[in-house]
Amino acid sequence: MAGGLKEVRERIVSVKNTQQITKAMKMVAAAKLRRAQQAITQLRPYAEKQNAMLKNILSNLGGEADISFGKEREVKNACVVVVTSNRGLCGAFNSNIIKAANAVIKDQFADLEKSGNLRILPIGKKANDFYKKRYPENVLINDHVMLFDDLSFANVSQVARRLMTAFAENEFDSIYVSYGKFKNAATQFAITEKFLPVTQTTVAEESDNTSKANYIFEPNMEQLLENLVPSILQSSFQKYVLDTHASEHGARMTAMDKASENADELLKELKLSYNKARQEAITKEILEIVGGAAALEGG
């Protein structure tokens, strides 16, 4: 019984130590979340306004615009960008993003995957670790795995420009991005969005109810859009990354909070078990003493 008590005591100490770690990780995640949330909330209105402006223009042009990043062509080569975190301990956050990416691969690019004409660009170690086990090296574009080490616009826009160049040079005919969209500390969504090409079909749903507007273009329409679209695409890609960054810390904070609560429940159960075992041990000792005293009196 003494051995059992010792084992329970050691488990209680172990759970308490683990709980201290989870509480500390929750506090760290909360501090990082505040900064990450501030970054995405500052960028999102600007990026969304740019997208709304582009969608409004394209929807009102009725397909007249002819821009290099809006040319739909037969999809012979494609790329899927998967944006995850570098670290785990954030619940199902990373696995949900990978599932979203795998879904678009299965639905849109199954034939290209079989023929070897699909490339995957992982951002974040979790995405890279997952896909490097399932695809040969020539499928992965792993030059930007550690992008989260520097989230400045200048650094992130390099990836966007690389993808835009690859599309313009016909290296890729279609590019999708899977990432974690941040709503609040407790809610994040794993979604996939079409990055290129920018076409009428990609904006039709949100523009159906938009009233037609008359635009006067200066300079001409094509020249204006050729300068506007790259800027919008870079802002959109920055939003994908910052959304995922904030979502990661929100998911980790929630996961560590749940882990601390579970540790509390486990401690209650362990303390109850310890008290029961201790009472049993005391009762047994008392019975032995009483039995010994009775034996002496009888003797």
Cα separation, 13 vs 18, in Å, equals: 9
DSSP type of residue 138: G
Looking at 15, 40, 83, 90, which residue is catalytic?
90
Tokens of 264: 């509390």
Q: Smallest Cα–Cα separation from 38: which of 178, 165, 185, 157?
A: 185
Which secondary structure element, helix H or strand E, spans residue 182, and what is its range?
strand 174-184
Name residue 82's beta-bridge partners.
122, 178
- Full domain range(s) for residue 102: 29-256
Which tokens is 251 given? 């998911």
Helix (H) or strand (E) holding 223: helix 221-298
CA–CA distance, 146 with 155 (Å, rounded to integer): 11
38 occurs within a structural domain: yes
The answer to whether residue 20 sits within a structural domain is no
pLDDT of residue 206: 44
Q: Is the pLDDT of residue 1 over 50?
A: no
Whether the pLDDT of residue 129 is over 60: the answer is: yes
Helix (H, G, I), strand (E, B), or coil: what is residue 144?
coil
Mean pLDDT score, 252-262 = 94
In this structure, is residue 43 part of a structural domain? yes
**pLDDT one-digit tens code per residue, 229-241:** 899 999 999 999 9
Which CATH number belongs to the domain containing residue 121 in this structure? 3.40.1380.10
Answer whether residue 280 is part of any domain: no
Rounded distance between C-alpha atoms, residue 190 and residue 103, angstroms: 11
Determine, yes or no, domain membership for 34. Answer: yes
pTM value?
Answer: 0.84
How many folded domains does the chain comprise?
Answer: 1
Active site residue 79: no
Q: Is residue 121 part of a domain?
A: yes
Has residue 217 got a pLDDT over 50? yes
Query: Which residues, in sequence order, are bridge partners of residue 128?
Result: none
Collapse the DSSP code of 190 into the 3-class scheme (helix H, G, I; strand E, B; otherwise coil) and give the result. strand
SS3 66: coil
Q: Which residue has the tokens 């749903």?
A: 205
Mean pLDDT of the chain: 87
Q: Is residue 156 part of a domain?
A: yes
